[in-house]
Chain A
Amino acid sequence: MTEPVPLTDDERAIYQWQLWIPEFGEAGQERLKGASVLVSRVGGLGGLVAYQLAAAGVGKLILAHGGNVRPSDLNRQLLMTHDGLGKSRVESARRRLLELNPRLTVETLAENVAESNVEQLVRAADIIVDCAPLFEERYLMNREAVRQRKPLVDCAMYDLEIHLTTILPGRTPCLSCLYPEKPAAWKREFPVLGAVAGTAACLGATEAIKLIAGFGQPLAGRMLIGDLRDMSFRTIKLNRREDCRVCGGVREK
């Protein structure tokens, strides 16, 4: 999926503690360095995904998120800061990510995923982490990931609950298999705590790292559901929809 890139001595020092992970090691780190990940958007969920991926040593992040930082972002969007209020969200994200990892390549688009940009955004990435709030954006990324046969980690949260699944086109159900239509009564603004968004984000980032480095078992065809009110976690086995309008008939490459 990604071309490994050899590490420098500086990088060996920075990633020393994760190089000790069996099955990951220097080969896994080199794959992370060679990888490009699309994260959309970079709010409470995507911002933390991007931060963890930057910390772990992913080579390139492609970030799409429109608009400027608002006060109501600051309870959970940890890449946004008070001095960034009223300024571009992706620029705030870029600055904070490069503070953490100056070796990182960050490509930003100050727009949300849309029909006009999704093909190119997905084309530029090896893997997609979907953290978008609007189902329209999520369906677009899902459709394009399936078309281009790229893995997509689907992260979602609501109140104190999280849902996480990994879509491997042609092998697992896609988002449209699971939910052919968005909920009729969906509201754009919903209750959420930053720590809950961050939990979903750290789990999603871990999935992305595993997929890129090629170790562990992804949530393929399974959905992790968690309710942090009572800290209960379960994994649900999912079904593919043979007549899915997005992935019906698609086979693994």
Chain B
Amino acid sequence: MRLTMIYTTQVKALLGQSTEQIDTDNLGLGAQFSAAQLLTALAAQHGAAFGQMVLDPGGQPAASLLVCVGDEQAATAGPLTVRDGDTITLLSAISGG
């Protein structure tokens, strides 16, 4: 399955890129996968700093991160409901000033 990742705010700043095309087969993900599995697979590609930003120490999506499929926030428990061609946006909490 091919997906488009959209990285925003601190995640984008860390990776130096705002978007990435991924193939879930190449990432070793099955037909169904959770947000945690997707983020773990991406962390294996993008390194420890990315992993620490998007995952908590228990390997679950960070409590400061929203995972969105298309224009809807996805539930992070259980498998993600995604289809080929979908867009997944990672929103990390930001503040004012």
Q: Which A residues contact B (CB, under 8 angstroms)?
A: 41, 43-46, 130-135, 138, 155-159, 161, 163, 178-186, 190-192, 197, 200, 223, 225, 227, 234-239
Contact = CB atoms under 8 A, between A and B. Distances in A.
Contacts of A44: 96-97
Contact of A156 (B13, B65, B66, B94): B94
Interface in B14-65: 18, 52-53, 62-65
B7 to A, nearest CB: 11
A231 to B, nearest CB: 13
A138 to B, nearest CB: 6
B92 interface: yes
Main secondary structure on chain B at its contact with chain A?
mixed
Q: When A and B form their complex, which 10 residue pairs have the shortest distance between CB atoms, in order from nearest?
A: A133-B97, A181-B63, A131-B96, A183-B64, A179-B93, A158-B94, A45-B96, A180-B63, A156-B94, A237-B72
Contacts of B68: 236
A183 B92 contact: yes
A161 B90 CA distance: 13
Nearest to A77: B97
Contact of B18 (A41, A180, A227, A237): A227
